[in-house]
Amino acid sequence: MLSNQYLASNRGYTAEQKAKSYLEQHSLVFIEQNFKSKVSEIDLIMRDQEQLVFVEVKFRKNASHGSAAEQFTKSKRNKLEKAIYYYLLKNKLNAFHTSFRIDVVAIDAEKVNWIKNV
């Protein structure tokens, strides 16, 4: 029998792949997936022309516990920002001179909702 943790991570990976494919179909270029820092993880890093796009992917099988987009909380955003600054530092990119934004791809069952510049 598969553990709940395995099933959850598999669903997360599947949702991230779906989001990656969706964004690529909308002309974004894939850079990296699951960049880890001590504080958080960046699900997807993409490029939209000259701008880096840090993507948080949220998935909900059904709306019984709220929508996927509602799961992107202020606390999650703060952790994600710290991971982004770590990514920029690690890649020798100046946060003040590098164009970037944070997007959320919220997947509710099969419906994809791309929220830009949250």
- Predicted local confidence at residue 53, as pLDDT: 98
Over residues 58-85, the mean pLDDT reads 88
Give the closest residue to 60 by CA, choosing from 102, 21, 104, 28: 104
DSSP letter assigned to residue 77: H
Question: Within 10 A of 64 (CB to CB), how many other CB atoms are there?
Answer: 6
Could you give the angle at the alpha carbon of 47 between the alpha carbons of 116 and 73, nearest 5°?
35
Strands 29-36 and 100-108: unpaired
Across all residues in the chain, what is the average pLDDT? 90
CATH fold of 4-115: Trna Endonuclease; Chain: A, domain 1 (3.40.1350)
37 three-state secondary structure: coil
pTM tops 0.85: yes
Alpha helices in the chain (DSSP H): 4-25, 74-90
* Range among 10-14, 66-70, 105-109 with highest mean pLDDT value: 105-109
17-46: pLDDT as tens digits: 999 999 999 999 999 999 999 999 999 999
